[in-house]
Structure 1
Amino acid sequence: MVDIKSYEEKADLLKALAHPVRLCIVHGLMENQCNVNKMTTCLEMPQSTVSQQLGILRSKGIIKGKRQGTEICYEVVNDQVKQIVSLILDNELDFNNKQEDE
């Protein structure tokens, strides 16, 4: 018998990554921990928008925030998500390089 619950959990992770801003945030956080102010500047978006996207990622267990003084720095804590994002972006880079070679 198929365990649909495990598929639902994976689908929820993929849904969270399906938004371009959230995918960008996760990719950036895989490189470096960051606070909301830096993300707001980098993404050129209002803090409310960035905070909303962070809330979704937090609720799915993809990122976690750690208080550092008066700020909260975020990091990616889900290893499956790290693998998925790396796979997606590595393939995109490989595809772009192949097109340039032709």
Structure 2
Amino acid sequence: MENITREFEDVKNKADIIKGLSHPIRLCIVKGLMSDEGCNVSKMQDSLDIPQSTLSQHLAKLRNLGILEGQRNGVEVNYYVVNEDAKKIIEALF
């Protein structure tokens, strides 16, 4: 029974990652960060042409899921994709 519980947790974690990537903007953010590692909010906002508040909400969701991490660099925060499952999903899609 313990094995089934552990397996279910793993499946649930992967499903959460897939749900997190299911929005087109979040998918673009992760895909873009994989090719332009360490991008900041200003650069992402210019590339995606969306309001800063919208971008911040999507980044927060991705950080909460453990897909992204931000590293402060002075007044900027540079973002990196840190979740290997998310990377594999993006690579499989593109």
Q: What TM-score, normalized by structure 2, do the two folds share?
A: 0.90
Find 2:90's aligned residue among 77, 85, 88.
85
CA deviation after TM superposition for structure 1 residue 19, in Å? 0.5
After the TM superposition, which residues 33-48 of structure 1 pair with which residues of structure 2 at under 5 Å, given as runs?
A: 33-48=38-53
Q: Percent identity?
A: 48
Look up the match of 1:51: 56
Look up the match of 1:93: none
* Residues 27-70 of structure 1: per-residue CA shift (max 9 Å, x gap): 00001121111111100000000000000000000000001111
Structure 1 stretches lacking a partner, 5+ long: 90-102
CA–CA separation in structure 1 for the residues paired with 2:68 and 2:22: 15
CA–CA separation in structure 2 for the residues paired with 1:5 and 1:84: 19
The letter of the residue matching 1:77 is: V
Runs (4+) off by over 6 Å: none
CA–CA separation in structure 2 for the residues paired with 1:38 and 1:51: 13
Structure 2 stretches lacking a partner, 5+ long: none
Higher RCO (C-alpha under 8 Å, 6+ residues apart): 2
- Aligned-pair RMSD on alpha carbons? 0.9
Look up the match of 1:24: 28
User: How many residue pairs were aligned?
Assistant: 89
